[in-house]
Amino acid sequence: MRTYLNKLITLLLFVSVYLGASAQSVPDTARISIGVDGGLPLYVTNLYSHILGASLHIDYPISRRTYITGSAGYNIFFASSTASSAPNGILNVQNANMKTVPLKIGIKQFIIRHFYVAAEVGGTLLTNKEEVYATNTSAFTYSPQVGMLFFLKKHTYIDAGIRYEGLASFYNDSEKYSFWAAHISYAFNL
């Protein structure tokens, strides 16, 4: 037990020295962005017509061009007016808007000065399970994206990009609730 504790302390010491040394070359501080998202579903277009949401992102620098990211949002999948049944096939029941909260972590890499690629994974929570007759309240989510950071003044930015968000089903089937989305947000350094 004592050797395990010594190894753990040594590991923590090396990690803290590494992070302290690498932090000195990082030119930026953590960045927070608040924005709006709009999108179109890919596979369930007969049930939902479009998506609108809001998001909060935090970017933490680990090197000059690489950031660890975390994001949370709120999305509404608006029910299609042409759908004649709920998502799980209940006839003569109009489907309701589906309301979700995606929670993701990932990595962002600046390829060129203002252009970045990012990838995030996490889970999406369904907030109105009963209204949409879902069987699950969460689903696996992944999200590759590309974007641009437009510099304003005094460490403020406009962040704009597009992403594909892969979202598994909230029903016990193989249906995907994936969508393409665009976002624009106001970002600032902490």
Report yes or no: 56 and 72 within 8 Å, Cβ to Cβ. Answer: yes
For residue 125, which amino acid is it? L
* pLDDT tens for the 190 residues of the chain, in order: 455 445 545 544 454 444 444 443 445 789 999 999 999 998 877 778 899 999 999 999 999 899 999 999 999 999 887 765 555 556 666 778 899 999 999 999 999 888 999 999 999 999 998 888 788 899 999 999 999 999 998 889 999 999 999 988 888 777 788 899 999 999 999 8
pTM for this entry:
0.77
Short-list 83, 97, 18, CA closest to 47: 83
Residues with Cβ within 8 Å of residue 51, at least 6 apart in sequence:
37, 38, 39, 40, 41, 75, 76, 77, 78, 179, 181
Helices (H) and strands (E) in the chain, counts: 1, 8
